[in-house]
Amino acid sequence: DAKTTQPPSMDCAEGRAANLPCNHSTISGNEYVYWYRQIHSQGPQYIIHGLKNNETNEMASLIITEDRKSSTLILPHATLRDTAVYYCIVPNDYKLSFGAGTTVTVRA
Amino acid sequence: SQTIHQWPATLVQPVGSPLSLECTVEGTSNPNLYWYRQAAGRGLQLLFYSVGIGQISSEVPQNLSASRPQDRQFILSSKKLLLSDSGFYLCAWSQSSGANVLTFGAGSRLTVL
């Protein structure tokens, strides 16, 4: 199964865009990239997923490189409520394994 | 719409006592079901997943077990709890086909003393 690598932490100013990188260099052609986030003391929340085209929904945008070896989650206008741990995941069949993720702290 | 219920929300148990956490999903059929655990300050660890009644896959050898007696019911059990079993237990479900999007329950916080 494809592994993902994310920076352990990053800060972002409130109202600015937050760009969260993820490397998944061993991803295979039919594997999707999923993003979740976990706010303290809550269960993870699904954000977005994609295969090879860029995706956008009400929460975020997902940019996947042409070679699919990396992706970036973009929170266009970060708020204090976006402070959370963000996970980039490439599932193995039905299994979603959550790594350490990136702890994002949005500062006023 | 689909909902997931998980209980109890909080429990404190002595070492060596049994455990039963229950999870039910409403509004869908034949879901994939999952149990995760998160120890304090740690990441989520996949414990069990199930793609159908009576089908359980275990990810980590331990003194926990899971059962799926009905299509939308998933139970996590232990005969004798250890201190290391303390943590935040999360049940989740996803559709059996299509996008592998997990929806999590509110979690059960277990403290073993």
Which of A20, A32, A34, A2 shows the shortest CA–CA distance to A84?
A20
Q: What is the pLDDT of residue B104?
A: 95
Q: What is the pLDDT of residue B34?
A: 95
pLDDT tens string A83-107: 999 999 998 877 888 888 999 999 9
Q: What's the pLDDT band for B2 if we cut at 50, 70, 90?
A: confident
Q: What is the pLDDT of residue A2?
A: 60
Phi-psi region of A25 (alpha: psi -120 to 50; beta: other; left: phi over 0): alpha
Which of B91, B97, B89, B75 shows the shortest CA–CA distance to B28?
B97
Q: What is the pLDDT of residue B100?
A: 80
Q: What is the pLDDT of residue A99?
A: 87
Across the interface, whether the CB atoms of B94 and A94 are under 8 A apart is answered: yes
pLDDT tens string A10-34: 999 999 999 999 999 988 888 899 9
Min Cα–Cα distance to chain A from B81, Å: 22
Q: What is the pLDDT of residue A103?
A: 96
What's the distance, Cα to Cα, between the start and end of chain A in Å?
A: 39
Rounded to an integer, the average pLDDT of B51-78 is: 92
Specify whether the CB–CB gap between A24 and A4 falls below 8 A: yes
Specify whether the CB–CB gap between B19 and B85 falls below 8 A: yes
Min Cα–Cα distance to chain B from A101, Å: 8
Q: What's the pLDDT band for B99 if we cut at 50, 70, 90?
A: confident
- B61 pLDDT higher than 70: no
What φ, ψ does residue B4 adopt, rounded to 5°?
Answer: -125, 135
Round the average pLDDT of chain B to a whole number and report it. 93
Rounded to an integer, the average pLDDT of B82-111 is: 92
Select the more confidently predicted residue: A40 or A74.
A74
User: What tokens appear for B51 in the block?
Assistant: 């793609």
pLDDT tens string B11-56: 999 999 999 999 999 999 999 999 999 988 888 899 999 999 989 9
User: Where are the alpha helices (H) located in A3-64, listed in sequence order?
Assistant: none
B101 in contact with chain A, both atoms CB, cutoff 8 A: yes
Residue position matching structure tokens 């599932």: A91
Q: Is the peptide bond before B8 cis (omega within 30 degrees of 0)?
A: yes
Tell me the C-alpha distance between B73 and B106, whole Å: 16
User: What tokens appear for A62 in the block?
Assistant: 């997902």
**Among A32, A94, A101, whose Cβ lies nearest the Cβ of B51?**
A94
